[in-house]
């Protein structure tokens, strides 16, 4: 019996060593946000307040082969009342020349090169229930499916400060249904970074297109473009972005739930760091013409205009206090809606 225990112990020990030796390198990051939101909608809706309790946990996995190719991926768990796992993560191969290839869940290259525009911190927002489809993100027309690949150039591709990407995705070939869906997509994008005196300029954007089908019949395409620029001078960052294109909303399997959306959006923002305090402001203005008759352009405007501002104070390493404010004005089919209003947020974030 003693010999059997010794053999079992040795086996477990050996397997443990082998497991550690063969493990990829893992790094962790995440945050916990706790705060209160105070929302004031239009005059016909009751004001409300909510405790915001949000956490996320990210694990990145990476290992390098003997030939110098780095293989990496990641996953994230987000808790916003219900636990959800983010599985839209590709397997990424980074080669010795600095170029890279993402396999599966790769996304769209036009979205990869969206220039980051400063915006307010905090979890404040104004919720609504109308069919307003004005876009809020400049890459709203850049679609992709899970069966996709994306190639990334090395830095300084063809010119100093230039990086480029190209992507393609396709669907799983399942039977077509009454709900519209993206069949395939492609995208190209580029980012160029340069300096002008004490200012660092980043210019980026991309073009995307995709085929959409419902019941096996070709429908209006999903696609468009985005462009943006940001300027960083010392502690001040200013950015602007613009997107334009066509997309669709597929809520369920009924014909009237598929809406063709032709829209555009502009984002402008600025942030300034002074000591332990970060001041930020952002403006987003989106508009669209949507139609319940899929394949027929809409004739009246949806719009959503929001302004947000925040003050973030670094309390300690990894700990920050945030006060944020947002005001939103909306119109649906050319008529003012009850989705507008304002919201305050007061909270703290702990990151690691």
Q: Are strands 48-64 and 70-79 parallel, antiparallel or unpaired?
A: antiparallel
The answer to whether residue 260 sits within a structural domain is yes
Q: Which residues pair with 246 in a beta bridge?
A: 223, 262
pLDDT of residue 217: 63
What CATH number is associated with residue 257?
A: 2.40.160
Does pLDDT of 155 surpass 90?
Answer: yes
Q: Is residue 216 part of a domain?
A: yes
> Is residue 97 in some structural domain?
no
Q: d(Cα 212, Cα 219) in Å, to the nearest integer? A: 5
- pLDDT of 17 strictly over 70: no
Q: Is residue 114 situated within a structural domain?
A: yes
Q: Is 5 a domain residue?
A: no
Distance between CA 111 and CA 171 in Å, rounded? 19
> By percentage, how much of the chain surpasses pLDDT 90?
50
Segment 160-213, tens digit of pLDDT? 999 999 999 998 766 666 677 888 999 999 999 999 999 999 999 999 999 887
Between CA 150 and CA 107 the distance in angstroms is 7
Specify which residues 341 forms β-bridges with: 41, 328
26 domain-assigned: no
The answer, yes or no, to whether residue 231 has pLDDT greater than 90, is yes
How much is the average pLDDT of 79-91? 63
CA angle 78, 138, 99 (to 5 degrees): 75
pLDDT score of 21 more than 60: no
pLDDT of 83 over the 60 cut:
no
Q: Which residues pair with 338 in a beta bridge?
A: none
Total structural domains within the chain: 1
pLDDT digits (tens, 9 = 90+) for 166-176: 999 998 766 66
Domain that holds residue 293: 43-57+108-351
Quick one: CA dihedral 158, 137, 60, 313, positive or negative? positive
Per residue, what are the HEC states of the chain?
CHHHHHHHHHHHHHHHHHHHHCCCEEEEEEEEEEEEEEEEECCCCCCEEEEEEEEEEEEEEEEECCCCCEEEEEEEEEECCCEEEECCCCEEEECCCCCEEEECCCCCHHHHCCCCCCCCCCCCCCCCCCCCCCCCCCCCCCCCCCEEEEEECCCCCCCCCEEEEEEEEECCCCCCCCCCEEEEEEEEEEEEEEEECCEEEEEEEEEEEEEEEECCEEEEEEEEEEEEEEEEECCEEEEEEEEEEEEEEECCCCHHHEEEEEEEEEEEEEEEEECCEEEEEEEEEEEEEEECCCCCCCCCEEEEEEEEEEEEEEEECCEEEEEEEEEEEEEECCEECCCCEEEEEEEEEEEC
pTM for this structure? Answer: 0.81
Structure token digits, residue 108: 């769209």
Exposed/middle/buried for residue 53 (C-beta within 10 Å: 0-12, 13-18, 19+):
middle
How many Å apart are CA 116 and CA 194, to the nearest integer? Answer: 16
341 within domain boundaries? yes
Model confidence at 134, in pLDDT bands (50, 70, 90)? confident
Instruction: Tell whether 323 is covered by a domain.
Output: yes
**342: pLDDT confidence band, cut at 50, 70 and 90?**
confident
């Amino acid at each position: 019996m003693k010999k059997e225990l010794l053999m079992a112990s040795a086996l477990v020990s050996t397997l443990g060593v082998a497991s550690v030796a063969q493990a990829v390198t893992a790094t962790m990051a995440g945050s916990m946000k706790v705060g209160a939101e105070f929302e004031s909608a239009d005059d016909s809706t009751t004001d409300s307040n909510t405790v915001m309790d949000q956490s996320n946990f990210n694990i990145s996995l990476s290992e390098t082969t003997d030939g110098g190719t780095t293989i990496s991926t990641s996953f994230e768990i987000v808790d916003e009342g219900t636990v959800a796992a983010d599985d839209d993560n590709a397997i990424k191969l980074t080669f010795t020349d600095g170029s890279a290839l993402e396999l599966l869940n790769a996304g769209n290259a036009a979205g990869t090169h969206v220039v980051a525009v400063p915006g307010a911190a905090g979890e404040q927002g104004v919720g609504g229930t109308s069919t307003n489809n004005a876009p809020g993100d400049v890459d709203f027309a850049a679609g992709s499916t899970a069966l996709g690949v994306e190639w990334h150039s090395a830095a300084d591709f063809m010119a100093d400060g230039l990086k480029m990407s190209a992507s393609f995705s396709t669907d799983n070939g399942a039977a077509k249904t009454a709900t519209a869906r993206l069949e395939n997509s492609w995208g190209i994008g580029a980012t160029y970074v340069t300096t002008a005196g004490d200012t660092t300029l980043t210019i980026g954007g991309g073009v995307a297109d995709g085929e959409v089908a419902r019941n096996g019949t070709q429908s209006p395409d999903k696609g468009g473009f985005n462009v943006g620029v940001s300027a960083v001078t010392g502690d001040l960052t200013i950015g602007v972005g613009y997107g334009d294109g066509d997309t669709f909303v597929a809520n369920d399997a009924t014909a009237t739930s598929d809406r063709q959306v032709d829209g555009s959006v502009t984002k402008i923002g600025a942030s300034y760091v002074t000591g332990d305090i970060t001041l930020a402001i952002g403006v987003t203005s989106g508009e669209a013409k949507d139609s319940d008759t899929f394949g027929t352009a809409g004739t009246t405007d949806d719009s959503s205009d929001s302004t947000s501002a925040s003050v973030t104070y670094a309390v300690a390493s990894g700990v920050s206090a945030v006060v944020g404010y947002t005001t939103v004005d909306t119109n649906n089919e050319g008529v003012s809606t009850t989705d507008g209003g304002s919201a305050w947020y007061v909270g703290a974030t702990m990151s690691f």
